[in-house]
């Protein structure tokens, strides 16, 4: 029997919390992210979205190196069953949810862009929780396809990946939410409003 959902959390918010814990994001900034106060999209973020569209939809391909596009596309599942796939995973009283870029029959892929790639940097990514969320769809592994626009890299994680770090951080984040509950105006995070 599943517990009643008290919190609804998505990966980019957990990434902000991780940055907060490492002193790279202030408490006020984190509260603003929880409250979904709009922040302007950075040039890097816009480029990442544009690159993903170029890879998957073929729009704006002329903006990117054809060899980089070819290498990224070669790492996508064949056939591509679906793009922008919603998935959710309940962990105790927390519903973790988000969208993975592409799924095939047994492989999910998330496309990433970066200015500097560090090997194994996605080992503790909160998006690894997409694995249990997609297990019922037959997904056996999650591959990150990463480019710094000079080269293409990949990291792949299977259903047996250790998610202890992510699970502990979710529990810690729920504590943060409770501690700052009076300052949180977007009640969707507490599962009190429709999505």
> What's the pLDDT score for residue 40?
87
Question: pLDDT tens for residues 43-86?
Answer: 988 898 899 999 999 999 999 999 999 999 999 999 999 999 99
List Cα–Cα distances, 157 to 53, 127, 154, in angstroms.
24, 11, 10
On average, the pLDDT of the chain sits at 94
Strands 94-103 and 141-147, by their bridges, are: unpaired
Strands 7-9 and 82-91, by their bridges, are: unpaired
Question: pLDDT tens for residues 75-108?
Answer: 999 999 999 999 999 999 999 999 999 999 999 9
Query: What tokens were used for 140?
Result: 């056996």
User: Which residue is associated with the tokens 């907060």?
Assistant: 20
Torsion, Cα of 82, 86, 90, 93 (10° steps): 180
Q: What is the pTM of this model?
A: 0.92
């Amino acid at each position: 029997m599943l517990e009643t959902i008290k919190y609804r959390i998505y990966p980019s918010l957990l990434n902000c919390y991780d940055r907060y814990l490492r002193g790279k994001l202030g408490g006020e900034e984190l509260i603003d992210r929880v409250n979904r106060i709009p922040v302007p999209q950075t040039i890097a973020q816009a480029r990442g979205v544009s690159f993903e569209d170029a890879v998957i939809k073929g729009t704006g391909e002329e903006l990117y190196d054809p060899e980089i596009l070819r290498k990224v596309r070669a790492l996508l599942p064949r056939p591509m069953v679906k793009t922008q796939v919603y998935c959710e995973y309940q962990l105790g009283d927390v519903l973790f949810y988000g969208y993975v870029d592409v799924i095939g029959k047994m492989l999910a892929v998330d496309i990433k862009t970066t200015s500097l790639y560090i090997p194994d940097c996605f080992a503790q990514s909160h998006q690894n929780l997409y694995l249990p969320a997609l297990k019922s769809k037959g997904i056996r592994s999650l591959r990150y396809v990463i480019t710094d626009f000079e080269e293409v890299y990949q990291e792949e994680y299977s259903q047996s990946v250790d998610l202890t770090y992510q699970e502990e951080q979710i529990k810690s984040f729920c504590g943060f939410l409770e501690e700052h509950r009076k300052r949180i105006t977007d009640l969707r995070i507490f599962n009190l409003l429709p999505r």
